[in-house]
Chains A and B, each alone.
Chain A
Amino acid sequence: MTANIQKKVALFATCINDVMFPDTCMATVRLLERLGCRVCFPPQQTCCGQMFTNTGYFNEAIASVRACASAFEPYEYVVGPSGSCVGSLREQHPLLAELSGDTALQQTVKAVVDKTYELTEFLVDVLGIEDVGAYFPHTVVFHQSCHSLRVARLGDRPRRLMEKVRGLTLLPLEADDQCCGFGGTFSVKNPDLSAAMVSEKARCVAKSGAEYLVTVDNACLMNIGGALHRDGIAVRTIHLAEILCSQECERDEPHVCHPQPNRALLTHNKGEKDGRVGGGAP
């Protein structure tokens, strides 16, 4: 293992993980520490600013860019457990920094971009590890989130890591490269379309027969998981970092959401609720 040389890593927690999915961040920290890294959490960091940029509010995103730049500048590596946020940092921040007209910021951003990795990239490319010594005796399906595929360009790294997890069975997921319909503010600006898209994704996940749905982006999990929970489909959602962190000796299973099947919905709505909004919970 090349991990013996201690690497100083700044964790890019991302706003959604910080507030909604702290377990993913903690799992990332434990995993990296287990592999011999020294992990820090620079508290100035906030968010990648995608919410603003992708809605057209470029100027409003610049504060986030500054926060990230100043937080991550002193570190050797920046690692985030999110394809979407890491992709945004790498692809959008240079553009936004240029827009701000601040040349010092542009330079800092460029330096930060060059050392920022998504977790799976960092494991496979920098640490050179595919077998992280994880144990997860469950059947899973993997949703390749759009931004991890096409913006951060993670390729097959997540799958390679999963293949080395002992006990894990990766099942095929129908239309796994299709968008789940989250799309940030898209889900609120085009709610009916987003609902139709997530319904189909939830249907495919339910059909797969897996125990867990895995992604490298918790935003997608929030969307698909919300739909699974609404439909009373007992597939749990989990971030890949939490799977990679879990080991055989651990007594506790990683924290996952356990949806409580809504009986009334199950009996009332056996068929696909695809695209129909306003149904809501009884």
Chain B
Amino acid sequence: MTDARRSTQTSVRSPQHSERSGQMRDTHRSASTCDAQHSAQTRGRRTPAPPPDPLLESLPFPLAARQLLQNQQLRANLRHATHTIRSKRKSVVAELPHWEELRSAGAAMKDRALCSLDSYLEQLEANLIQNGAQVHWASDAAEAQRIVTCLIKAHGVDEVVKIKSMVTQEIELNEALEAEGIAAWETDLAELIVQLGHDRPSNILVPAIHRNRDEVREIFLREMKLYGQAAPDDLDNDPEDLAACARNHLREKFLRAKVALSGANFAVADTGTLVIVESEGNGRMCLTLPDVLISITGIEKVIPTVEDLEIVLQLLPRSSTGERMNPYTSMWTGVTPGDGPQEVHVVLVDNGRTRVLADPIGRAALRCIRCAACMHICPVYERVGGHAYGSVYPGPIGSVLTPQLRGLKSVLDKSLPYASSLCGACAEVCPVKIPLPDLLLHLRRRVVDEVKRRHVGLEQTAMRCVGWVMGSGRRFGLVGRLAGWTRIFIRRDFITHLPWLGKRWTARRDMRMPARVSFRRAWRRRARDKK
């Protein structure tokens, strides 16, 4: 069988990561620059453009949330969708008496993988190559884009079909390919809705969770005809009709495609097997029909052994879609002669993950298996949706993962750890027991420490003062007494307007006045009376 396997001529394997990156960069720069000018001059867009104004991406979370909260339709859609999926999850999880043990096993397995990630990655690479796949390493988004672009161009095609994949969104692959004149067609139903709707995904599992069926129908009618098979004029808003319409539209793209792009839910180190878990079967089409398959995956997707799939394949479907088992689970190990793609590439992407791994507390975020249970349960996400988080990873996991991946630099990234009321519902449902509230606090601390390093802020001064007061019962007692004195001027129990930052409280609710006599003083009086 070995003779039928492809050689690994394009995989760059040298012991040091930096060297790998360097070589990859040089190999591909020449290829991409020569075509870049050509594509820029002659071609318009091939695929629907994403929203032209990435305003929300740069706004800090509270301001983005303010804008999105105004959209009543969005809130109604989100509420309906999150509540439905939440209760489905709850009922299927309740069926398993050993659910808590499963969660612990999942967490322990992912921790084991992350603790020895370097050796598991090398094991994965060796097994992939042995099975005829070609392995590429990308240290950041730009490098991953270059590798994929080069591989597609080497086959002389200008379009590819895609399976829904988070990492390709993270590295903004579609737009990079578009710039090179390559059309990347999303084939997942929800991703198709998002792509045709000139929109951005708002959930990692249900990217079009913010759309209802009427909106989907409108998008299909308006856009499909511009990019291929048109939607029938009498299209109904019935889910079955919409799905059939999408199936029709995608069929010609599947049959035409020579190259497919995918992500991976899991990469099994001891066998070199990649795994995709999906519901619709479009992924299966991409994985089996085209001649060439390029799978792009984050390095944290590695799991040690094929037995470990037993854990995650129980945890994932129940936590994500609320199903006992997902309809399609595809696994492939390199190239199988005469069956499926005869050229298989795997691009292993770092893009900030080693930085996350370096933080002993923050690294727990890398356990994530992208089930979206934390989003669906989150009262904050439920009200604003994914777009407010300014990242492909929204919700509680996004609030801890995005700032770490990107390095906690921008105003948005610094606001994300605060995008939670710390209610803890997310940690309760996480299938791999990521302690999300603890991570949020850890990152808040990092934000505060970084601000402190640069200047003395107002908030910091206030906190320091209050901290000083709270250092002594006597000082705090005095403050309580002063607070009680305000009742001399304000007799009412509630006040409707507070000044300055207090406005943010009284904008929606009244503020209770402090007690005339604090407990501390009442206690002292009581003790005196007793004597």
Contact = CB atoms under 8 A, between A and B. Distances in A.
23 contacts: A19-B484, A20-B514, A29-B523, A43-B473, A57-B445, A57-B463, A58-B448, A60-B464, A60-B466, A151-B424, A182-B421, A186-B418, A187-B505, A188-B504, A190-B380, A191-B504, A191-B505, A197-B379, A223-B509, A226-B494, A229-B509, A230-B510, A280-B506
Interface string A196-236: 11110000000000000000000000110111011000000
B512 A225 contact: yes
Nearest to B507: A277
Interface in A17-72: 17-23, 25-26, 29, 41-47, 49, 51-58, 60-61, 63-64, 66-67, 71
A56 B445 contact: yes
Contact of A150 (B62, B424, B505): B424
Given A15-B470, A67-B471, A183 B420 contact: yes
Interface stretch (B40-48, B200-208, B327-335, B475-483): B475-483
Interface of B: 61-62, 65-66, 69, 75, 379-380, 383-384, 417-425, 427-428, 441, 443-449, 459-460, 463-464, 466-474, 476-477, 479-480, 483-484, 493-494, 496-497, 501, 504-512, 514-515, 517-520, 522-523
**Which among A42, A43, A45, A257 has the highest number of chain B CB atoms within 10 Å?**
A43
Contact of B425 (A58, A146, A227, A279): A146
Given A178-B379, A179-B421, A280 B519 contact: no
B467 A278 contact: no
Nearest to A231: B509
**Which among A21, A29, A53, A229 has the highest number of chain B CB atoms within 10 Å?**
A229
**Which among B380, B422, B505, B509 has the highest number of chain A CB atoms within 10 Å?**
B509
Given A18-B520, A71-B473, A229 B510 contact: yes
A189 interface: yes
Contacts of A64: 467, 470-471
A150 B427 contact: yes
Contact of B509 (A19, A53, A226): A226
Given A56-B443, A226-B505, 4 more contacts: A43-B474, A181-B379, A190-B65, A199-B508
A60 B421 contact: no
Contacts of A26: 519, 522
Contacts of B62: 189-193
A104 B379 CA distance: 40
**Which among A13, A42, A150, A199 has the highest number of chain B CB atoms within 10 Å?**
A150
A55 B379 contact: no
Contacts of B473: 42-46, 67, 71
Contacts of B464: 60
B507 A19 contact: no
B507 A22 contact: no
Given A15-B476, A198-B509, A279-B507, A193 B470 contact: no
A230 B509 contact: yes
A194 B470 contact: no
Contacts of B448: 55-58
Given A22-B518, A57-B448, A280-B497, A183 B480 contact: no
A159 B441 CA distance: 30
A53 to B, nearest CB: 7
Contacts of A13: 519-520
A86 interface: no
A195 interface: yes
Nearest to A229: B510
Given A60-B464, A146-B423, A20 B512 contact: yes
A242 B69 CA distance: 37
A189 B479 CA distance: 24
A147 interface: yes
A281 interface: yes
A73 B149 CA distance: 65
Contacts of B417: 56
A60 B463 contact: yes
Contacts of A189: 62, 418
